Amino acid sequence: MNDTDLKNNLKNRCPWANHDEEMTKYHDEVWGVPLYDDEMLFAKLSLDLMQAGLSWRTILHKQKNFEQAFDNFGIKIVSTYDETKINQLLNNAGIVRNRLKISSIINNANQVIKIQEKFGSFSKYLWSFTKGEIIKNKYAQIPPSSPLSDIISADLKKNGFKFVGTTIIYAFLQAVGIIDDHLPSCFRY
C-alpha cells in the first residue's frame, strides 16, 4: 500500500462508500458532483432506473457493460432502439435484463428529446427545479425521497417518463449533484 492509498483509507466517508474500491472511487470522485451535460444526465437517470430493486453496487460494477450495450447512452441513438435491439439487450448477460426497464430507458430517451426541444436542454429543465442551486442537506441518515424528488418525479411522469418514482429520482438527484447528501462526518461534506 502506497502513501496515497493509506491516506485515502483514513478518510471519513459516507458509510455506503466503504464496501469496495469501486464504490469508494465513485463516492470520492463522482457522487454528488454537479452534472450539466444532457448525455451524462440521461446515462445517470438510466442507471438509477436500472438500480430499482437492486443495490447500487451491482449497477456500478456493471456500468461499463451498460455503457457499451446502450451505445454510451447517446440519447438520439437510444431513442431509435427497436424490437431487434431490445432482444439483443435482453440476451446481454452483462447488464440487467429486464424488458420493462429497457423499454423505459428507450421511452425516456424520446422524452428527453422533447424536454430539450421545450427547455433548450435536459440540464436546464432539471436544474430549474432548484433555480440552479445545489441543495445541501445535513442529514444524520439519508432519506429515500424528499419533497423535491416528489415534485420532479411527478413532473417527469407528466412529461411521459417511465420508471421515475420519487425514490429513483432522489437517488438520481444525489448522483448528479442537484442534492448533496454527503454526511457531515464525510470528508466531501
pLDDT in tens, 23-68: 999 999 999 999 999 999 999 999 999 999 999 999 999 999 999 9
DSSP labels, 103-124: HHHHHHHHHHHHHHHHHS-HHH
The 10 Å Cβ neighbour count of residue 16 is 15
Long-range contacts of 144-151 (CB under 8 A, 24+ apart): 144/170, 145/169, 145/170, 146/170, 146/179, 148/173, 148/178, 148/179, 149/173
pLDDT exceeds cutoff 90 at 113: yes
SS3 content of the chain, % helix, strand, coil (to 5): 60, 0, 40
pLDDT exceeds cutoff 70 at 89: yes
Q: What is the pLDDT of residue 7?
A: 47
Q: Which has more pLDDT, 8 or 125?
A: 125
**18: amino acid identity, one letter:** N
Mean pLDDT score across all residues of the chain: 93
DSSP structure class, residue 64:
H
Q: What is the pLDDT of residue 9?
A: 59
Instruction: Give the domain ranges of the chain.
Output: 14-180
Average pLDDT estimate for 135-148:
87
The answer to whether domain 14-180 has CATH 3.30.1510.10 is: no
pLDDT in tens, 161-189: 999 999 999 999 999 999 999 988 899 98
The C-alpha cell that represents 11 in the structure block: 478518510
* Reported pTM: 0.92
